[in-house]
Amino acid sequence: MTPEKALMTQEPDATAPEVMATAETVASQHPRIDVSGAAATPMAANRADTQTVFRCDDVHVYYGDFLALRNVSLSIAVHEVTAFIGPSGCGKTTFLRCFNRMNELIEGARVEGSINYHGVELYQDEVDPVEVRRRVGMVFQKPNPFPKSIYDNIAYGPRLAGAKRSELDDIVERSLTRAALWDEVRDRLKTSAYGLSGGQQQRLCIARAIAVQPDVVLMDEPCSALDPIATGRIEELIAELKTDYTIIIVTHNMQQAARISDMTAFFSVQANEMGQRTGELVEYAPTSLIFTNPEDPRTEAYITGRVG
């Protein structure tokens, strides 16, 4: 699969000029998926669009009849780190999974409302979820390397995407370097990934995620299984990666959100009269504002430990 392959499996037909125009706009705005290779300078008029990777409007997520997340509207800005924080059950991980259609892998999960990715409706039938997941990679809570060598872990995705054998060495080195792991593993690329420490395994997973040249990297509590030093390395790495990638991270560690993110979304959970607990977005603002002077009293109560 070449990088310029469209998000959609079906070519938009001529009767849908709107969709076509949007797809072109996407290509021109994103050098990585630009066929011509010419990095487009965004015009002032569409600047707002080029800054936005995802625009979510009135997103509801159901698991069967159960409403897990209610009415979320927010935009994710390009090359920023956006953190989702909130108590357990507030829907932050559920929401994170919406961005690469991972929820579809859960039986009975349903997403309503609009999630717009660079001008393309993510949840329309024409969109290929596999291609979405290539562009929107994910790193999980527990490092989950494949039972393969370090090299093959990284090469796996690019191979599937049709990368040539001759390109693989390069991709592996570049990805591992970008994930700040190359120097530690260059001499043992053919050994099992399971021989790495937890922190190294997590950086390997980040390297694996970026090996397929994604646009966005989703991280679901990527440091919760790591010690403070390994956590610090991942945090440094996130700060470096945001020059090339848009990062959305779910974290239970509020200080981590404060340290690494540009924007923070605080989710909370409310039980209805039947005891069903539904998550909702309470406040979404620049991180420095959330942690110095949040607008909503619920945000303040949560981050200062006065749990409402």
Q: Is 120 in the site for other proteins (CB under 8 A)?
A: no
In one letter, which amino acid is 273?
E
d(CA 291, CA 246): 22
- Give strand pairing partners of 210: none
Sole binder of other proteins in the list 56, 176, 210, 303 (CB under 8 A)? 303
In one letter, which amino acid is 224?
S
Q: For residue 231, give the H/E element and its range.
A: helix 228-241
Question: How many residues touch other proteins (CB under 8 A)?
Answer: 17
Q: Is 228 in the site for other proteins (CB under 8 A)?
A: no
Closest contact distance (angstroms) between CB of 239 and other proteins is 19
Sole binder of other proteins in the list 38, 45, 229, 307 (CB under 8 A)? 307
- Candidate segments 94-102, 139-147, 274-282, 300-308, binder of other proteins by CB under 8 A: 300-308
- Candidate segments 9-17, 134-142, 234-242, 292-300, binder of other proteins by CB under 8 A: 292-300
Q: Which residue's CB is nearer to other proteins, number 221 or number 283?
A: 283
> 59 near 95, Cβ under 8 Å?
yes
Q: Is 293 in the site for other proteins (CB under 8 A)?
A: yes
259's tokens: 């340290």
Q: Which residue's CB is nearer to other proteins, number 34 or number 300?
A: 300
8's tokens: 């959609």
Q: Is 294 in the site for other proteins (CB under 8 A)?
A: yes
> 118 near 26, Cβ under 8 Å?
yes
Give all strands of the β-sheet with 81-85 in edge-to-edge order: 120-121, 109-117, 52-63, 66-77, 277-286, 263-271, 81-85, 246-250, 216-220, 136-139
Closest contact distance (angstroms) between CB of 292 and other proteins is 6
Residues with Cβ within 8 Å of residue 217, at least 6 apart in sequence: 136, 137, 138, 139, 206, 209, 210, 241, 245, 246, 247, 248
- Compose the 247-276 pattern: x for residues touching other proteins by CB under 8 A, - for all others: -------xx--x------------------
**CA-CA distances (angstroms) from residue 139 to 19, 23, 143, 197?**
30, 27, 8, 16
Q: Is 164 in the site for other proteins (CB under 8 A)?
A: no
Q: Which residue's CB is nearer to other proteins, number 100 or number 287?
A: 287
Closest contact distance (angstroms) between CB of 289 and other proteins is 9
Closest contact distance (angstroms) between CB of 237 and other proteins is 22
Q: Which residue's CB is nearer to other proteins, number 139 or number 282?
A: 282
> 75 near 237, Cβ under 8 Å?
no
Closest contact distance (angstroms) between CB of 89 and other proteins is 15
255's tokens: 């200080």
* Residues at the contact surface with other proteins, assessed by CB under 8 A: 254-255, 258, 290-294, 299-301, 303-308
